Amino acid sequence: MSIKLSIITVNYNDSAGLQKTINSVLNQSLQNFEFIIIDGNSNDGSKELLQQNSEPSIRWISEPDNGIYHAMNKGTRMATGEYLLFLNSGDILFDTEVIKQVDQEIDGTYGIYYGDIIFEEPEQQKKIVFPDKLSFTFFYKQSLSHQASFIKKALFDELFFYNEDFKIVSDWEFFTYAICKQNITYKHLNILVTIYDGNGISSNADNLKLMYQEREISLRRYFPAFKDDYTQIGELEHKRVKQFFYIKGHPFAWKILKFCIKAITLFLPKNKIKE
């Protein structure tokens, strides 16, 4: 392999998930990576588990931290690889050939490579394929999965490390800023990289309100002039707006719709329509 990879796993009181992650990494057919585990001083047996898994390829620490992104930043600073994959406790690589497949694709040309995931919940699994072309609209609606992304380590020094003030969206913030503002190059890999553990903090519906609050703070910080457009982009994504543009492509239906719109607007204040 010409490019060195660092796999970083953060864990806190999830010894069962940690064992799953360790197994999936150590069972890879190609073992040319370093594996860094950052444990937040767990008291559920995780530390003892790490002591039992004393593989030469694993480097680990167990000490208190200030949250997920603080732990991910610790792993980033410890890493010696050119590219980083953040595979959190409970997440597993899709199969034993993932690293071998990725090894054939990453040549250092792009700042970020990303593959696809299986989103796993207790009742179901869902395959998520990310688009080849990324845009601000994409990041408005969703994000890349850091569990399936290979990020050039140098970008953290050039841009910033994960925001430790946030609890949920720091990886989203990093991707959005890097790709939409700094034009960092990227490439989609047609590879299923990870089975993503859907029990994580960012997947919990109870955290949606906090997620949007943190996104709002980030957008005001890095995209203040784009903030109003950001809202309009959301409106353009509504189903009815999409139907409107679909009908516009059919002349007869478009004439009927225009007639209906004209009739309705007769009963509305004219100055409001001009606004």
Residue predicted with more confidence, 238 or 65: 65
CA dist., res. 234 & res. 142, Å (int):
12
Residue 112 pLDDT class (50, 70, 90 cuts): very high
The pLDDT of 86-98, averaged and rounded, is 96
- Does the pLDDT value for residue 193 go beyond 80? yes
Report the first-to-last Cα separation within the chain, whole angstroms: 59
CA dist., res. 213 & res. 92, Å (int):
30
Give the global pTM: 0.83
CA dist., res. 236 & res. 92, Å (int):
36
CA dist., res. 262 & res. 195, Å (int):
51
Q: Alpha helices of the chain — where are they, by DSSP H? A: 15-26, 46-52, 68-78, 98-103, 136-141, 154-158, 170-176, 208-222, 227-236, 239-248, 251-265, 270-274
pLDDT of residue 202: 57
Residue % of the chain over a pLDDT of 70? 90
- Does the pLDDT value for residue 178 go beyond 60? yes
Q: Which tens digits make up the pLDDT trace of 208-240?
A: 889 989 999 999 899 888 766 766 666 666 667
Residue predicted with more confidence, 203 or 87: 87
3-state secondary structure of 61: strand
Instruction: Kindly compute the dihedral angle of the four CA atoms of residues 212, 216, 218, 224, in this order, to the nearest 10 degrees.
Output: 150
The CA–CA distances, whole Å, from 93 to 4, 19, 104, 191, 255 equal 18, 13, 16, 11, 53
CA dist., res. 140 & res. 231, Å (int):
9
pLDDT of residue 234: 63
- Does the pLDDT value for residue 275 go beyond 60? no
